Amino acid sequence: MSSERGSEVEVAIRPFREADWPAVHRWFNNREAISSLMEVRPSFSEEDARGWTEAAAGAEGEDRKWAIEVAGRDEPVGFTALYGLFRQTAPELGALIGDHPGVRGVGREAERLTVAKAFEELGAHRVYGRIPAFNEAAKKAVLWQGWKHEGTMPEHIRRPDGTLIDCEIWGITAAGWRRRWAGEG
């Protein structure tokens, strides 16, 4: 174990299994958690959850998703994702903590493990994220990992009720990642 880890508890990411669908259903019906995502689905049924989980477990195409496990809990508490791998353009990181783990740092540590995979196993040259400007937790999580705020797209997000939200672009290059995490295992 290296010197700097993000969480007070042991956090791991693992591939999805089809049996994870009830947890997925719960996360996407956690209104508070999903309200800070880039896009909010109006509803997410059990059937949606089964389909989402089956696709995640299949791990085909350009996207990969991982379930976040926290020591002492039977079910995963959320997921991380990399969207648009293996292209000339960099993949985008996604994350959702759908069951509150009750301790600090689970999201940022799960994200760190995911971005490490992007650079070390999946050939990424850069990873980026679009973050609604009000989402302080998401911004702090990537700042801790060494990401930079690269710009802001004014009013990029329009919610169904017409609310307009600025969207920030955050990112990190492979070289930036090595600088931040040199010497960490």
Ligand X SMILES: CC(C)(COP(=O)(O)OP(=O)(O)OC[C@H]1O[C@@H](n2cnc3c(N)ncnc32)[C@H](O)[C@@H]1OP(=O)(O)O)[C@@H](O)C(=O)NCCC(=O)NCCS
Quick one: 17 or 140, whose CB is closer to ligand X? 140
Minimum Å gap between C-beta 34 and ligand X is 7
Of 119 and 147, which CB lies nearer to ligand X in the complex structure? 147
Mode of pairing for the β-strands spanning 148-158 and 78-83: unpaired
By the 8 A CB rule, do 107 and 15 touch?
Answer: no
State in angstroms the smallest separation of the CB of 37 from ligand X.
5
End-to-end CA distance of the chain: 7
- Angle between helix 136-144 and helix 106-120 axes, rounded to 10 deg: 50
Residue 18 has which token pair?
């089809």
Among candidate residues 65, 70, 113, the one with its CA nearest the CA of residue 85: 65
- Residues 170 and 150 sit within 8 Å (Cβ to Cβ): yes
Least Å from the CB of residue 40 to ligand X: 10
Three-state DSSP class for 142?
A: helix
The nearer residue to ligand X, 19 or 103, going by C-beta atoms, is: 103
Nearer residue to ligand X within complex by CB, 102 or 123: 102
As measured in angstroms, the least distance from the Cβ of 32 to ligand X is 8
Q: Are 129 and 142 in contact (CB under 8 A)?
A: yes
Q: Which residue's CB is nearer to ligand X, number 32 or number 60?
A: 32
Supply the minimum distance, in Å, between the C-beta of residue 142 and ligand X. Answer: 9
Name the residue whose CB lies closest to ligand X.
Answer: 107
Rounded-to-integer distance, Cα 85 and Cα 62, Å: 5
Q: Which residues bind ligand X (CB under 6 A)?
A: 6, 33, 36-38, 78, 95-97, 104-108, 129, 131, 135-138, 140-141, 144
